[in-house]
A and B are shown apart, each in its own frame.
Chain A
Amino acid sequence: MENNAFYVALSLLVNLDATLFQIVALSLQVSLLAVLIAAVLGFPLGAAVALWHFPGRGGVIVALNALMGLPPVVAGLTVYLLLSRAGPLGEWGLLFSPSAMVIAQVVLVLPILAALCRQKVEELLGEYREQFMSLGMSRSRMMPTLLWDARFALLTVLLAGFGRASAEVGAVMMVGGNIEGVTRVMTTAIVLETSKGELPLALGLGIVLLTLVMVINAGAYAVAEFTRRRMG
Chain B
Amino acid sequence: MTSLNAPFVEASRQLPFSALHFESVTFRHQGKPLLGPCSFSLEGPGPTLVMGPNGAGKSLLLRLAHGLLPPTEGRVSWSSTGRPRQAMVFQQPVVLRRSALANITHALAVNKTPRNARKRLALEALAHFGLTASADTPARVLSGGEQQRLALARAWVLSPGILFLDEPTSALDPAAIRAVETAVQAFHQQGTRIVMTTHDLHQAKRLAGDVLFLSGGKIREHTPADSFFNAPVSPEARAFIAGELVE
Looking at chain B, what size class is its interface with the partner chain?
Answer: 20 to 34
CA distance A145 to B102 in the complex (A): 11
Of listed A130, A141, A148, residue having the most chain B CB within 10 A: A130
Look across to chain A and name the residue whose beta carbon is closest to the beta carbon of B85: A136
Task: Say yes or no: is A195 at the interface (Cβ < 8 Å to chain B).
Answer: no
Interface hits, A12-68 → B, CB 8 Å: none
Asked if B68 contacts A231 (CB within 8 A), the reply is no
Binary flags per residue of A141-170, CB closer than 8 Å to B gives 1, else 0: 100010011011000000000000000000
Asked if B138 contacts A134 (CB within 8 A), the reply is no
Binary flags per residue of B55-90, CB closer than 8 Å to A gives 1, else 0: 000000001001110000000000000000011101
Task: Say yes or no: is B141 at the interface (Cβ < 8 Å to chain A).
Answer: yes
Look across to chain B and name the residue whose beta carbon is closest to the beta carbon of A136: B110
- Residue numbers in B under 8 Å from A145 (CB-CB): 96, 106
Binary flags per residue of B208-246, CB closer than 8 Å to A gives 1, else 0: 000000000000000000000000000000000000000
Asked if B97 contacts A137 (CB within 8 A), the reply is no
CA distance A152 to B138 in the complex (A): 14
Task: Say yes or no: is A230 at the interface (Cβ < 8 Å to chain B).
Answer: yes
Interface hits, B131-187 → A, CB 8 Å: 138-141
Count A interface residues, CB 8 Å.
Answer: 18
Asked if A232 contacts B66 (CB within 8 A), the reply is no
Given the interface pairs A231-B140, A232-B138, the reply to whether A134 lies near B110 with Cβ below 8 Å is no
Question: How many interface contacts (CB-CB < 8 Å) are there between A and B?
Answer: 42
Given the interface pairs A134-B86, A134-B87, A137-B110, the reply to whether A232 lies near B96 with Cβ below 8 Å is no
Supply 28 A–B pairs (Cβ within 8 Å), ascending by A.
Answer: A127-B94, A128-B94, A130-B63, A130-B88, A130-B90, A131-B94, A133-B68, A134-B66, A134-B87, A134-B88, A135-B110, A135-B111, A136-B110, A137-B110, A141-B110, A145-B106, A148-B98, A151-B97, A152-B97, A230-B138, A231-B97, A231-B98, A231-B138, A232-B97, A232-B138, A232-B139, A232-B140, A232-B141
Interface, chain A (partner B; CB < 8 A): 127-128, 130-131, 133-137, 141, 145, 148-149, 151-152, 230-232
